[in-house]
């Protein structure tokens, strides 16, 4: 015969002070874990949302990022004639681009953070299908004009519409704000390729080429053709693969966050264990009475374990509520690949909250198992004599 769950709920309500303190400790542990997971999830979403599976990014062989790559205009001309590249009229869907970093004061660092600056051709803007203007207009070729990502406009006070940023050989006017959805484009600044490359004395030392394949079946063959051409000496990969490889930026942060959460979890488990041991000690007479009424040792053990799980489950739900306000808050993290800041939003989804509640229940199970066993092993006469 099983002990009703209402018995456990009543005991938690009666011991409300102990219940609140223990649940709050578990909630804080869950909140720390979920905050880190939401941050890493947001970073992964930004990179995984970037790129088109039909597009191929071409860099210098051996380069790990556009920032460290070098592609000449001569190589670009050879790439444009490759078979399998999509065309719009007579023009191939190929964009020669230059990537560098500039320093801008941000809301988090008045001394400045590195930001990705991309010199790009008009066709490169068109090739980014999900990119649209949020405000203003696109830059004009040959002009000292730039368009900033919406995250840049939000996090950098000097990068608003109509402002002028100083880098390269002079000032550049912000003429537009672009919206790349959830992609990493929101953390970049776009400007005319020829004007930017001239300002940085890189008229022929550019960074990468973005190509659009005719269809999905052409992508592998085109990548192999580019990588096997010794004359070109380039590294080709899908644009999505390139961005997904950059999720390593959050690996260390995730490790540290999970490590801290595990340490806190050990403490929370001991807190739950102490709470349940105290409950067993105070309720010895109740345990004896339950045995006299015919409840088995296994029923009593299951009942006390259930009480611990209810307590930890409450803490898990409170922890989820504590983290929920972080959802969609914009933050930034420095990338070890691009050496610039990537802005993204915290992502607190259902799967993240499920992890939090499960984590809390595990803590409750670990903390409640031994006190539950001790309660079940109490002899009837001994339990009835205890005060």
Spatial separation of the C-alpha atoms in residues 206 and 72, rounded to whole Å: 6
- Can you give the length of the chain in residues? 387
DSSP code of residue 178: E
Strands 170-179 and 145-149: parallel
Spatial separation of the C-alpha atoms in residues 122 and 140, rounded to whole Å: 9
For 251-299, write each residue's pLDDT tens digit.
666 677 777 777 877 777 777 777 767 766 666 666 667 667 777 778 8
Cα-only R_g, the chain: 30
DSSP code of residue 379: -
For 158-194, write each residue's pLDDT tens digit.
899 999 999 988 999 999 999 988 888 999 999 999 9
Spatial separation of the C-alpha atoms in residues 231 and 254, rounded to whole Å: 41
For 230-252, write each residue's pLDDT tens digit.
889 999 999 998 888 776 655 66
> Model's pTM, two decimal places?
0.76
- Alpha helix locations (H) across the chain? 5-14, 16-48, 73-80, 122-127, 150-155, 193-199, 218-228, 239-245, 251-282, 284-292, 297-323, 350-377, 380-385
Under 8 Å between Cβ of 41 and 179: no
Spatial separation of the C-alpha atoms in residues 140 and 16, rounded to whole Å: 67
For 99-123, write each residue's pLDDT tens digit.
999 988 887 777 778 899 999 999 9
* pLDDT recorded at residue 181: 86
Under 8 Å between Cβ of 66 and 120: no
DSSP, residue by residue, 68-110: G--B-HHHHHHHHT-TTB-EETTEESEEEEEEEEEEE--SS-T
């Amino acid at each position: 015969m099983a002990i009703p769950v209402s018995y456990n709920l009543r005991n938690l309500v009666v011991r409300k002070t102990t219940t609140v303190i223990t649940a709050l400790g578990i909630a804080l542990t869950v909140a720390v874990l979920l905050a880190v997971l939401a941050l890493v999830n947001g970073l992964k979403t930004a990179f995984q949302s970037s790129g088109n599976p039909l597009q191929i990014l071409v860099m210098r062989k051996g380069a790990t990022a556009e920032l460290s790559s070098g592609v000449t205009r001569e190589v670009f001309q050879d790439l444009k004639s490759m078979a399998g590249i999509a065309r719009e009229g007579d023009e191939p869907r190929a964009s020669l681009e230059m990537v560098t970093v500039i320093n801008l004061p941000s809301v988090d660092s008045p001394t400045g953070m590195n930001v990705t600056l991309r010199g790009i051709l008009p066709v490169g803007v068109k090739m980014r299908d999900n990119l649209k203007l949020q405000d203003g207009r696109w830059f004009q070729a040959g002009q000292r004009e730039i368009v900033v990502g919406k995250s840049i406009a939000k996090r950098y006070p000097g990068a608003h519409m109509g402002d002028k940023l100083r880098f390269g050989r002079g000032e550049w006017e912000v003429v537009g704000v672009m919206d790349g959805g959830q992609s990493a484009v929101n953390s970049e600044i776009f400007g005319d390729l020829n004007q930017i490359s001239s300002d940085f004395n890189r008229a022929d030392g550019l960074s990468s080429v973005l190509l659009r394949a005719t269809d999905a079946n052409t992508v592998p063959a085109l990548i192999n053709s580019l990588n096997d051409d010794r004359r070109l000496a380039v590294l080709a990969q899908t644009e999505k693969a390139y961005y997904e490889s950059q999720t390593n930026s959050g690996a260390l942060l995730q490790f540290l966050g999970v490590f801290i959460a595990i340490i806190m979890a050990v403490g929370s488990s001991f807190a739950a264990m102490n709470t349940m041991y105290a409950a067993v000690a105070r309720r010895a007479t109740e345990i004896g009475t339950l045995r006299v009424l015919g409840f088995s040792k296994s029923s009593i053990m299951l009942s006390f374990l259930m009480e611990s799980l209810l307590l930890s489950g409450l803490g898990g739900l409170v922890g989820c509520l504590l983290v929920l306000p972080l959802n969609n808050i914009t933050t930034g993290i420095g990338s070890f690949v691009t050496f610039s800041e990537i802005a993204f939003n915290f992502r607190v989804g259902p799967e993240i909250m499920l992890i939090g509640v499960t984590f809390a229940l595990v803590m409750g199970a670990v903390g409640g198992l031994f006190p539950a066993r001790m309660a079940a092993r109490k002899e009837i006469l001994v339990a009835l004599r205890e005060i």
